[in-house]
Amino acid sequence: MTDINVTCIGGGHGLGHLLEIINDFDFVNLAGIVSTTDNGGSTGRLRESCDTISWGDIRYCLSKLSKAVTAKEPSTKALLFEYRFDNVGDLSGHSLGNLMFCAVDSLCIRPTETVQVMREYLGIKANILPMSDAVTHLVSHCAEHCYFGEVEVDEHANQGISKLILTPDVKPSEEVLDTLRNTDILFLGPGSFYTSTLPSLLMDAVIDVINQNTKLKIYFITNVKDEFNNALNKQHEEIHYQLEFIKKLGLTKAVHSLIPRHRIPDSIELCKPYTIAELPADTSGRHQQTFYREQLLELIQR
């Protein structure tokens, strides 16, 4: 089989889980474009003190991928990467991996280069890229309020978001654009819709290069469970609402949805094209790995 170029856009646990599974397919050239707008926890503290992009989601994705390098058993490097300090003064709560990123970043020209150094350190083949080398924040506009920073955006997402932007407005790296130009299959999600799936799509250059890639197939992986309560969208069901929100960002190519059978909405005909699949949740509320792997493999091999 000819190698297929697969790119995944997202952040946090959803993207890490997705990358870990697809990384097992030896006919896939895998890339991940990771959201860098998180401003909470260890990442948020480092952003304030070092004026850097957020490293937490990138660190998590690399940690998940590092398992493949060591036959599913954590290596010492991977364990150090995920180590979190506790009861040690100002270091408490910090992940050693985040601190390593900051240290390497001070020696590199761009965050993209920093990530490549850490990939080599962990022996990871998949190409992991920050969505931008520039520092930016997520801002949401709701009916009556504006919320600054990913933490606030996430906390108030149930109010319904009419507009989502990056401030300052930033551009993706050439590496991100080149990756998307050469991608055969693009996966969006799963995970937090506003704060994981969408940030990378808020850059006009990303939307433009996706629209211009004539061979590209796009799949939107919906979550196993509803992300918001029913009060969020009184006139639209969640999956249809999310697809419409993506279109409003300027995406003109068809987006094919992967929908768990237990989440089929009444508005399913408005969600075309789509695939309905058996995708139960695991104990963590994510896609159960065995079913997830089979469905991803089927989509990639179509």
Closest CA to 257 of 201, 218, 208, 213: 218
| pLDDT surpassing 70 at residue 2 | yes
Q: In whole numbers, what is the pLDDT of the chain averaged over residues? A: 90
Domain range annotation of the chain: 4-136+174-301
What does the pLDDT look like over 87-140, one tens digit per residue? 766 777 778 888 888 888 888 889 999 999 999 988 999 999 999 999 999 999
Average pLDDT, integer, range 273-289: 92
* Other Cβ atoms closer than 10 A to 273: 9
Q: What is the phi/psi pair of residue 6, to 5°?
A: -120, 130
Q: Are 33 and 198 in contact (CB under 8 A)?
A: no
Confidence of residue 68 (pLDDT cuts 50, 70, 90): low
The answer to whether the bond into 130 is cis (omega within 30° of 0) is no
Percentage above 90 pLDDT, the chain = 66
CA angle 8, 11, 15 (to 5 degrees): 50
What does the pLDDT look like over 136-192, one tens digit per residue? 999 999 878 999 989 999 998 888 899 999 999 999 999 999 999 999 999 999 999
Q: What is the phi/psi pair of residue 140, to 5°?
A: -115, 145
| pLDDT surpassing 80 at residue 247 | yes
246: tokens are 């993506």
What is 4-136+174-301's CATH topology? Rossmann fold (3.40.50)
Which residues fall within 8 angstroms of residue 37, CB to CB, at 6 or more apart? 54, 136, 137, 138, 150, 166, 195, 199
Of residues 42 and 36, more confidence is placed in 36
Which residues fall within 8 angstroms of residue 294, CB to CB, at 6 or more apart? none
